């Protein structure tokens, strides 16, 4: 099937239909500018219809035997496996992902679906003692109800599934809004997979729209009890504020400014390989990317020479070409922002060991060093192929530099002494950090999330229970209570 021809629609209450807004979202291939699809936006009224459909369907789904619920996810997994080549081509076309990146995204998507199959059976109740004679305290894990999911453009298929599948597996219904740059891979394709897998109508709804059309309707609507948002910290702050004002639970997976730290006893060749991948995978458009590469001054020269030499070998071009390492950024605004950032940083005194130029949305890699201590680029997220190499003297300075950012998502430490690496890693204020590895990792059963401006809450594994279920206390009095009046 042609996903872009057939899925450029809203999916509400089990029906594929056009939106009723007055304008269209145009879905472009970021590499060659080809128009892939045109989607008439959903209005606030259609957001209401989606949430009301989810509300109607959720009760019966929550009562469905979890062994029956999990069959849907088993079928969804088989559908993705059967259509893997088509989905790969869609990822390459819609978001400019290389074949390597598309394969990585699909591999993780399948792993998260396998975890959702198990998650359906994970909720457990408890019976707790009481100081009152004859009283039995039962604590139940129940679905939270309806969940709103807002997914980003960089890993749209995976990061939509990552919240949608667990929420559904645990007995909830979902309304999904994909990013406007990836409406098919992040939205309607997910709906199509679950529709073909036999998910009952109304449990998953997809609204393709924009804040310019609906304002905060997706967040303020009275039906959803939780909002799972993945995106920038700027938007995440707004989501958190609106959710708090409306007493909704917000799960926020936001940006990063991760540091990959190379100590004086590291395997330099291996650290170079890890750093190059961690910085340039998917053109640097990854929240866990190693924005900053911190290198002990005693090995700085060797590391830098080898790092720059390896970066020079990266091929920039057509993401459909299997030999391409770096494809296009998602749109011209992002390409302009990245190239402007490099120019400003160099103009303020940094040295460009490699100074990448732009050709449309293709931006060649840059490597910057000798950054002034007050350079704004040191503390912000760079969503593009720009590496910062920063020398340090000793572990204390490495920790200080690593923590000198409002973000705290991922990180890595390279050393010949594992326990030394672990001790240092504990001092870095980040939600996740890896010893002798890259910074870009996600696994279905390990808590995923950040500190500071990188987010609130965790996803994956048992953390999904906290995100998408609630606990209910039901007490049973055997015999008669005594009341004081």
Which of 46, 105, 287, 395 is catalytic? The answer is: 287
CA 245 → CA 24, 86, 207, 216, 300, distances in Å?
31, 42, 23, 12, 49
Q: Which residue has the tokens 């790969």?
A: 88
**What does the DSSP assignment read for 116-178?**
HHHHTT----EEE--SSTTEEEEEEEEE-SEEEEE--SSSHHHHHHHHHHHHHHTT-EEEEE-
Residue 185 known to be catalytic: no
Supply φ then ψ for residue 130, to 5 degrees.
-135, 145
Which of 253, 300, 381, 395 is catalytic? The answer is: 253
Residue 419 known to be catalytic: no
Q: In what order do the strands lie in the sheet with 259-262?
A: 351-354, 366-369, 386-392, 292-296, 259-262, 411-414, 434-435
Residue 287 contacts residue 255 (beta carbons within 8 Å) = yes
Q: Which residue has the tokens 């990266």?
A: 314
Torsion over CA: 184, 190, 196, 201 (sign): negative
Residue 366 contacts residue 386 (beta carbons within 8 Å) = yes
SS3 content of the chain, % helix, strand, coil (to 5): 40, 20, 40
Please give the angle made by the CA atoms of 234, 235 and 239, to the nearest 5 degrees.
Answer: 125
Question: Rounded to the nearest 10 degrees, what angle do helices 156-169 and 84-95 cross at?
Answer: 120
Catalytic residues: 253, 287
């Amino acid at each position: 099937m042609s996903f872009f021809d057939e899925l450029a629609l809203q999916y509400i209450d089990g029906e594929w239909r056009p939106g009723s807004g007055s304008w269209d979202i145009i879905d472009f291939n970021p590499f060659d500018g080809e128009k892939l699809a045109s989607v008439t936006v959903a209005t606030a009224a259609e957001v209401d219809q989606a949430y009301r459909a989810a509300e109607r369907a959720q009760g019966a789904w929550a009562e469905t035997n979890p062994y029956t619920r999990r069959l849907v996810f088993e079928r969804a997994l088989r559908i993705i496996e059967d259509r893997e080549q088509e989905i790969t081509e869609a990822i390459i076309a819609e978001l400019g992902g290389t074949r390597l990146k598309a394969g990585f995204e699909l591999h993780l998507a399948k792993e998260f679906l396998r975890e959702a199959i198990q998650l359906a059976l994970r909720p457990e109740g408890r019976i707790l003692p009481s100081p009152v004679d004859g009283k039995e305290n039962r604590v139940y894990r129940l679905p939270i109800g309806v969940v709103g999911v807002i997914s980003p453009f960089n890993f749209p298929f995976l990061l939509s599934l990552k919240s949608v599948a667990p929420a559904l597996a645990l007995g909830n219904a979902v309304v999904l809004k994909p990013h406007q740059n990836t409406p098919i891979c992040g939205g309607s394709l997910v709906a199509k997979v679950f529709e073909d897998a036999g998910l009952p109508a109304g449990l998953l709804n997809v609204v393709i729209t924009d804040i310019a059309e609906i304002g905060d309707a997706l967040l303020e609507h009275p039906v959803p009890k939780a909002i799972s948002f993945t995106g920038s910290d700027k938007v995440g702050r707004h989501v958190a504020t609106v959710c708090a004002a409306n007493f909704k639970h917000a799960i926020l997976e936001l940006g990063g400014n991760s540091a990959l730290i190379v100590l004086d006893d590291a395997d330099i060749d291996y650290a170079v390989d890890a750093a190059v991948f961690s910085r340039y995978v998917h053109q640097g458009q990854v929240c866990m990317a190693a924005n900053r590469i911190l290198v002990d001054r005693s090995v700085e020269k060797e590391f830098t020479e080898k790092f720059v030499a390896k970066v020079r070998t990266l091929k920039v071009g057509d993401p459909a070409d299997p030999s391409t390492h770096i494809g296009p950024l998602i749109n011209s605004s992002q390409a302009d922002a990245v190239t402007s950032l490099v120019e400003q940083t160099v103009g303020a005194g940094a040295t460009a060991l490699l100074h990448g130029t732009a050709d449309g949305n293709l931006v060649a890699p840059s490597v910057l060093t000798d950054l002034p201590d007050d350079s704004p680029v040191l503390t912000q997220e760079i969503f593009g192929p720009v590496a910062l190499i920063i020398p340090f003297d000793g572990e204390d300075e490495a920790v200080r530099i690593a923590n000198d950012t409002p973000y705290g998502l991922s990180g890595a430490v390279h050393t010949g002494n594992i326990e030394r690496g672990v001790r240092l890693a504990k001092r870095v204020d980040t939600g996740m950090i890896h010893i002798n590895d890259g910074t870009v990792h996600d696994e279905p059963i390990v808590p995923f999330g950040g500190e500071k401006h990188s987010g609130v809450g965790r996803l994956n594994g048992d953390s999904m229970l906290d995100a998408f279920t609630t606990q209910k206390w039901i007490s049973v009095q055997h015999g008669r209570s005594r009341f004081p009046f």
